Structure 1
Amino acid sequence: MNKSPSLIGGACIIASVCVGAGMLGLPSAGAGAWTVWSLLAITVTMIVMTISGWMLLEAFKNYDLKVSFDTVTKDLLGSKINLFNNITVYFVGGILLYAYITSSGLILKDVLGVNDKLASIFFVLIFSTFVWHSTRAVDRISVVLIAFMVLSFIFGVSGLAVNVDMSVLLDTISAENNYAPYAMAMLPVALTSFGYHHSVSSMRAYYGCESQAKKAILGGTVIASILYFVWLISIFGNLPRANFGPVIEQGGNVDALLTALGSVIESDRVANAINTFSMAAILSSFIGVGLGLFDFLADFFKFEDTRQGRAKTWLATFLPPLIFSLLFPFGFVIAIGYAGAAATVWACIIPAMLAKKTRDGEKGSEGFRAPGGTVMIYLVIGFGVLTAVFHFLSMLGMLPMFTG
């Protein structure tokens, strides 16, 4: 008798897809909203993103287990909407690689003793080789990186957690009492931090059914939320809100956040653990996102799985974000905000549209169904549209922006 895969295993896969370097953007993005409103924004985003993942499951239910996001979108919504969806998938992958390349250069420049642009080039040339070589190579390096992340996270966060100052965590030392408006600008970064939707079809195939995949998705988003909560409380309880000014001024770049943290952490061991975690998170996300984008572009352009074909895919995957990183080095949080605005398409709007189309079909009432009825479909679409609008309003300076 075949044993069904464990729910813990599937939940951990979803959590690891969510928890990447986006985690490093949350403290800077949430500095204005501070503790209570940041945690509230993350909770609301987690609930909506979990339900939108279930809506994708609902749309997949009448298809073969091997089916992809691309196939179902093309079949149910047509080629034009599918093309737009694919463009946003590519844009999000590209802008995330761009953010990781820029940040890695800024962190590595002191280690390597070269300028940040040269450090970024070295970073891409060395670590993208794993993606070019094979998925197996990515698998092996990912295991090592995740072990580094777990150990450094435990040592670093436990060191921060024991020193949490409640007056800093609740910001009782400042006269500010209007945090809620700043939560709007945080939503695109929060949304990026729950972008697991390209893995929904993999979860369904893994379990062979929608009901178990549904539980794994919920488990994964809950685990990710708990990690974000612990991380934000540990940072906001140590680094006063006013100290985020220089970090935000540099676009939320990770090296600026680490420098600010270093000024309030007394233990070198904790500071080194946080630095190691940050670098491992960026590298892990760079390789994970790089592999996803590499496979997407290989399929899209129909490049062959040969050395020459993989070299073409490598160029299409890594060269554009590297060039943009060298020419226009925007801040980490700014880049992730763009990713969040575009991700609203394939993480909120398209899943809800697919679920509606499925329910309107002949077999719509059979099998798995996401909760909330038609009202939930419109709520998920509304959340996606509002998140994108908030991003563009903040870009235009039309939303309250915290400057420290």
Structure 2
Amino acid sequence: MKASPSLLGGSCIIASVCVGAGMLGLPSAGAGAWTTWSIIAITLTMVVMTVSGWMLLEAFKHYDLRVSFNTVTKDMLGSKINNINNLAVYFVGGILLYAYITSSGLVLEGMLGISSKITSILFVLVFSTFVWHSTRAVDRISVVLIAFMVLTFVFGVSGLAVNIDASVLFDTIAKENSYAPYAMAMLPVALTSFGYHHSVSSMRAYYGEENRAKQAILGGTVIALVLYLLWLLSIYGNLPRNQFGPVIEQGGNVDVLLSALGSVVASDKVTNAINSFSMAALLSSFIGVGLGVFDFIADLFKFEDTKQGRTKSWAVTFLPPLIMSLLFPFGFVIAIGYAGAAATVWACIIPAMLAYKSRTREGGEEGFKAPGGNAMIGLVIAFGVFTAIFHIMAMMGMLPAFLG
């Protein structure tokens, strides 16, 4: 009998999908809300997004292990809703890959002194190979990357943590204290920070059943939450709130955030550890998101699991975001915000609708069920709708914008 894959491996895949966007986007997105309200926004988002992932698992239980969003949504909710969902899934996956490719190119340009366009191309050609090869290869590299991230994170964060200044962390030096309104504009980025949902079908196929996949999802979101909180506390305790102005002005780009951090950290070793951690976070998320989009594309277009079929899936997954990154590089947090608004469709609204539909089916109450009953379904949909509305309001200048 074949041994079931480890929960650690699955949790690492889920955590690595989450962590890149969140680690590098949240400090700038939460600069207005600052410490307390950022923590509240992130924790609330983690709970809702974990439950919505379980709702997807509940809907998938009626189908064989190779299906993904496309097949299930089309069967349960019809072609029109499925087409909207497919567009949202591909848009979010594509814009996240675009953000990672652009940011890694900028960070590598600073490290290697080579043009960011060349480093972006090399980054994609080298690291998308793991996704093209197999889920097992992604599991292996994810565990290695998470281990490397933990080491550099511990070193970098401990270097920051010993210098945390409580007056900076809780911004007691500022005259303005109305932080709560800024948390609304932060929610789309927080939602993207837990946007692992395109990997739910991959997890289910990987474990061959729902309960272990559920545990891996929870393990992954808990790991991500703990890392986010440690990271935010360390940054907000060192880099004063009013010094986020230049970072926000540049669209929250990772290279600008890293140079701002470098200017307030005395130790070169700590700065190098933070830079290495950031690069590993980008890479792990790139591979994790790439796997989810790759499996989604294979199911959507019915590409076979052969070298030729996987190459087609690879091309549709990675080439459009790479081309867009080379032609139109723009702000990291801006891109993540767009992703968050669109992600509300397939990370909150569709999973809740699928779970509701699943329960009305014959045998729908049997087997795996997400907790909270129909009340939880309503709450998850409401969270998604309000998050999208907040993003639109922020874009139209109807929410307070923090400029440093």
Tell me whether 1:37 sits opposite 2:12 in the alignment.
no
Residue 157 of structure 2: aligned partner: 157
Aligned-pair CA distance for 1:235? 0.7
Aligned-pair CA distance for 1:120? 2.3
Stretch moving more, 122-131 or 148-157: 122-131
* 8 A contact 1:21–1:278 mirrored in 2: no
Residue 266 of structure 1: aligned partner: 266
Q: In structure 1, how many angstroms separate the alpha carbons of the residues matched to 2:51 and 2:199? A: 14
Matches within 5 A, 1:371-382: 371-382=371-382
Residue 121 of structure 1: aligned partner: 121
Q: In structure 1, how many angstroms separate the alpha carbons of the residues matched to 2:9 and 2:301? A: 33
Seen in structure 2, the aligned counterparts of structure 1 residues 328 and 201 have a Cα distance that, compared at 3 Å, is closer
Seen in structure 2, the aligned counterparts of structure 1 residues 258 and 342 have a Cα distance that, compared at 3 Å, is same
Matches within 5 A, 1:99-178: 99-132=99-132, 138-178=138-178
Seen in structure 2, the aligned counterparts of structure 1 residues 361 and 139 have a Cα distance that, compared at 3 Å, is closer
Residue 98 of structure 2: aligned partner: 98
Stretch moving more, 194-203 or 335-344: 194-203
Seen in structure 2, the aligned counterparts of structure 1 residues 15 and 234 have a Cα distance that, compared at 3 Å, is same
**What 5-or-longer segments of structure 2 have no aligned partner?**
none
For 1:247, give the aligned amino acid.
V
SS in 1 for 2:264: coil
Q: In structure 2, how many angstroms separate the alpha carbons of the residues matched to 1:33 and 1:184? A: 9
SS in 1 for 2:81: helix
Matches within 5 A, 1:44-55: 44-55=44-55
Matches within 5 A, 1:362-401: 362-401=362-401
Aligned-pair CA distance for 1:137? 5.2
Q: In structure 2, how many angstroms separate the alpha carbons of the residues matched to 1:170 and 1:125? A: 43
**What 5-or-longer segments of structure 1 have no aligned partner?**
none
Q: In structure 1, how many angstroms separate the alpha carbons of the residues matched to 2:86 and 2:93? A: 11
Tell me the TM-score normalised to structure 1 length.
0.91
Residue 15 of structure 2: aligned partner: 15
Matches within 5 A, 1:167-316: 167-205=167-205, 209-304=209-304, 309-316=309-316
Aligned-pair CA distance for 1:65? 4.5
Seen in structure 2, the aligned counterparts of structure 1 residues 57 and 185 have a Cα distance that, compared at 3 Å, is same
SS in 1 for 2:265: coil
Alignment length (residue pairs): 404
Identity over aligned residues, as a percent?
79
* 8 A contact 1:22–1:336 mirrored in 2: no
Q: In structure 2, how many angstroms separate the alpha carbons of the residues matched to 1:6 and 1:137? A: 14
Matches within 5 A, 1:59-74: 59-74=59-74
Stretch moving more, 225-234 or 103-112: 103-112
Q: In structure 2, how many angstroms separate the alpha carbons of the residues matched to 1:371 and 1:303? A: 35
Residue 27 of structure 1: aligned partner: 27
Aligned-pair CA distance for 1:67? 4.1
Q: In structure 2, how many angstroms separate the alpha carbons of the residues matched to 1:204 and 1:326? A: 35
* 8 A contact 2:18–2:285 mirrored in 1: no
For 2:317, give the aligned amino acid.
T
SS in 1 for 2:101: helix
Aligned-pair CA distance for 1:118? 3.3
Seen in structure 2, the aligned counterparts of structure 1 residues 21 and 148 have a Cα distance that, compared at 3 Å, is farther
Residue 342 of structure 2: aligned partner: 342
Seen in structure 2, the aligned counterparts of structure 1 residues 122 and 70 have a Cα distance that, compared at 3 Å, is same
Q: In structure 2, how many angstroms separate the alpha carbons of the residues matched to 1:36 and 1:323? A: 39
* 8 A contact 1:29–1:333 mirrored in 2: yes
Q: In structure 2, how many angstroms separate the alpha carbons of the residues matched to 1:207 and 1:129? A: 23
- 1:345-372 CA distance string (max 9 Å, x none): 1110011101111222232333333232
- 1:256-282 CA distance string (max 9 Å, x none): 000000011011111000000011111
Residue 402 of structure 1: aligned partner: 402
* 8 A contact 1:35–1:233 mirrored in 2: yes
* 8 A contact 2:9–2:139 mirrored in 1: no
Aligned-pair CA distance for 1:206? 5.1
Q: In structure 2, how many angstroms separate the alpha carbons of the residues matched to 1:309 and 1:6? A: 28
Stretch moving more, 122-131 or 76-85: 122-131
Seen in structure 2, the aligned counterparts of structure 1 residues 64 and 401 have a Cα distance that, compared at 3 Å, is same
Tell me the TM-score normalised to structure 2 length.
0.91
Stretch moving more, 26-35 or 45-54: 45-54
* 8 A contact 2:100–2:286 mirrored in 1: yes
SS in 1 for 2:127: helix
